[in-house]
A and B are shown apart, each in its own frame.
Chain A
Amino acid sequence: MMHEKPVLIREDGLRHDGRRPDELRPIKMEVGVLSNADGSAYVEFGGTKVLAAVYGPREVHPRHLALPDRALLRCRYHMAPFSTMDRKSPAPSRREIELSKVIREALESLIFVDLYPRTSIDIFIEVLQADGGTRTTGLTAASLALADAGIPMRDLAAGVAVGKIDGVLVLDIDEVEDEYGEADMPIGYAPSIDEIVLLQLNGVLSLDEFRQALELAKKGATMIYKMMKETLHNKYLRILSEE
């Protein structure tokens, strides 16, 4: 299906959905949504809806995968068959396997895996509805779920994508902008310790544009990070005040 390219940057300088270039989509976050998981979170970035669950530290099955000096981190990023316009086969695709790997590696750099040897920490990221930026939404949801599960981490990671559409650098691109834009750069950022944990780039950016895009992404991620902290605090402030 190849459609006519839609107008991505309107004449008034706003994007096709009315956002400014440096504006995020409406974000909704909730933690502790699943009772069977040790930690869970639900995150919406506009039309992208993601559920994340964390189990562990728990015993590793199969046993031979256990690591003697640290916890085994396993991550499954999966898109529900109903998450896209055309039905997506529920079997893990090449893309999903890759995203599971990059998200796992992003979180592995933040989690203190050496505190729980011979155990596994399992992260499940389920995309319920996809509208661009699913890996960054997934990363955000996963770090909220990990904090909820009490897994020791160096910092929370916030994910956000920066894109270049019609020559303009824009924050938090959606499906349409990703499809017709020139570049897509998803970033995972831990603002408190100022570390980039995930960085991919699809498309072409000049060195100067790359630097600008990175700054824009850091700005966006810091905004998301603040919301993540607020969500966690709001959820547990009640428990604290009861004591």
Chain B
Amino acid sequence: MSDSMASTKKLVSPGDELGVEEEYFTGPGTYIDRKGKIRSQLLGKVLIDIVNRRIVVKHIKGKPRIPRQGDIVIGIVESVSNDLAFIDITSIENTNVKSTDFTGIIHISQASKEYLETMYDALRVGDVIRAKVLNNSNPYQLTIKDPNLGVIAAFCTKCGSLLKKQDDRLICPVCGNIEKRKTSILYMFR
């Protein structure tokens, strides 16, 4: 959205008339009905870009909140195979959404900047990860290549206790097991 987008104080509900087809280009939250009138799709605020003659309606509470390209999401690894990992996306960062219910997929090429023999060297089932969304459709493609993305909490594959990060390694404080992951610099336990 450009800077010339002016917000109006007007609250509209679905079906409210916003203008006629010739006045604006229609953006998200608006549509053109059979008689050529621009109407609102949502309950929300009207935003008008006077320079580009574009009209948009934004929902009053930002709903529905589903993952979008570029969003940072938190998820739990559901299953891992040699080249793929399936993630249950549990929340979207910087939103007050409590839970989402979508599946994300990480391909091995998106797991690390370095060469990986197998996905098991980057993620294991049960790990909590921070990832970035790459596309706009379900199933969502995710990446954990960046240093601030990756595992933020992991569990020992031998005894199940929480792993601690020491230098660049994950060590189990109970059984001393050393594990390999693609950890984020935001790993929560040290």
Residues of A within 8 A of B (CB): 38-39, 56-59, 110, 112, 116-119, 147-156, 190-193, 228-229, 232-233, 236-237, 239-240
Contact (Cβ within 8 A) A57 B64: yes
Please, which residue of chain A has its CB at the minimum distance from the CB of B66?
A57
**How far in angstroms is the closest Cβ of chain A from B64?**
5
Q: Classify the secondary structure of B's interface with A.
A: loop
Residues of the B chain whose Cβ atoms lie less than 8 Å from the Cβ of A150: 42-44, 59, 61-64
Q: Identify A154's interface contact among B9, B15, B66, CB under 8 A.
A: B15
**How far in angstroms is the closest Cβ of chain B from A12?**
38
Q: Complex: how many Å from CA A190 to CA B137?
A: 31
Q: Complex: how many Å from CA A113 to CA B29?
A: 13
Q: Complex: how many Å from CA A21 to CA B16?
A: 30
Contact (Cβ within 8 A) B13 A229: yes
Known: A58-B102, A118-B137, A236-B11. Is A149-B63 also a contact (CB below 8 A)? yes
User: Does B31 count as interface, using CB distance less than 8 angstroms?
Assistant: yes
Contact (Cβ within 8 A) B39 A155: yes
**How far in angstroms is the closest Cβ of chain B from A237?**
6
Please, which residue of chain B has its CB at the minimum distance from the CB of A39?
B63
Contact (Cβ within 8 A) A58 B100: yes
Residues of the A chain whose Cβ atoms lie less than 8 Å from the Cβ of B39: 154-155, 192-193
Please, which residue of chain B has its CB at the minimum distance from the CB of A153?
B14
Q: Complex: how many Å from CA A147 to CA B41?
A: 9
Residues of the B chain whose Cβ atoms lie less than 8 Å from the Cβ of A59: 101-103, 138
Contact (Cβ within 8 A) A152 B103: no
Among B15, B63, B66, max chain A CB count under 10 A is at: B15
Chain B 94-106, CB-CB to A under 8 Å as 1, else 0, gives 0000001111000
In chain B, positions 41-74 with a C-beta closer than 8 Å to chain A are 41-45, 59-64, 66
Chain B 5-20, CB-CB to A under 8 Å as 1, else 0, gives 0000101011111000
Known: A39-B63, A59-B138. Is A152-B15 also a contact (CB below 8 A)? no
Residues of the B chain whose Cβ atoms lie less than 8 Å from the Cβ of A233: 11, 13
Please, which residue of chain A has its CB at the minimum distance from the CB of B44?
A150
User: Does B83 count as interface, using CB distance less than 8 angstroms?
Assistant: no
Cβ contacts A to B, 19 pairs, < 8 Å: A38-B64, A39-B63, A56-B64, A58-B102, A118-B139, A119-B66, A147-B14, A150-B61, A152-B29, A152-B42, A154-B33, A155-B39, A156-B13, A193-B34, A232-B43, A233-B11, A233-B13, A239-B60, A240-B9
Q: Complex: how many Å from CA A56 to CA B34?
A: 27
**How far in angstroms is the closest Cβ of chain A from B165?**
32
Contact (Cβ within 8 A) A152 B41: yes
Contact (Cβ within 8 A) A236 B60: yes
Q: Complex: how many Å from CA A193 to CA B36?
A: 11
Contact (Cβ within 8 A) B41 A153: yes
Q: Complex: how many Å from CA A150 to CA B64?
A: 5
Residues of the A chain whose Cβ atoms lie less than 8 Å from the Cβ of B43: 147-148, 150, 232, 236
Q: Complex: how many Å from CA A149 to CA B97?
A: 12
Residues of the A chain whose Cβ atoms lie less than 8 Å from the Cβ of B63: 38-39, 149-150
Contact (Cβ within 8 A) A151 B31: no
Contact (Cβ within 8 A) B61 A239: yes
Chain B 144-170, CB-CB to A under 8 Å as 1, else 0, gives 000000000000000000000000000
Contact (Cβ within 8 A) A192 B9: no
Contact (Cβ within 8 A) A151 B64: yes
Known: A147-B43, A153-B41, A239-B60. Is A117-B11 also a contact (CB below 8 A)? no
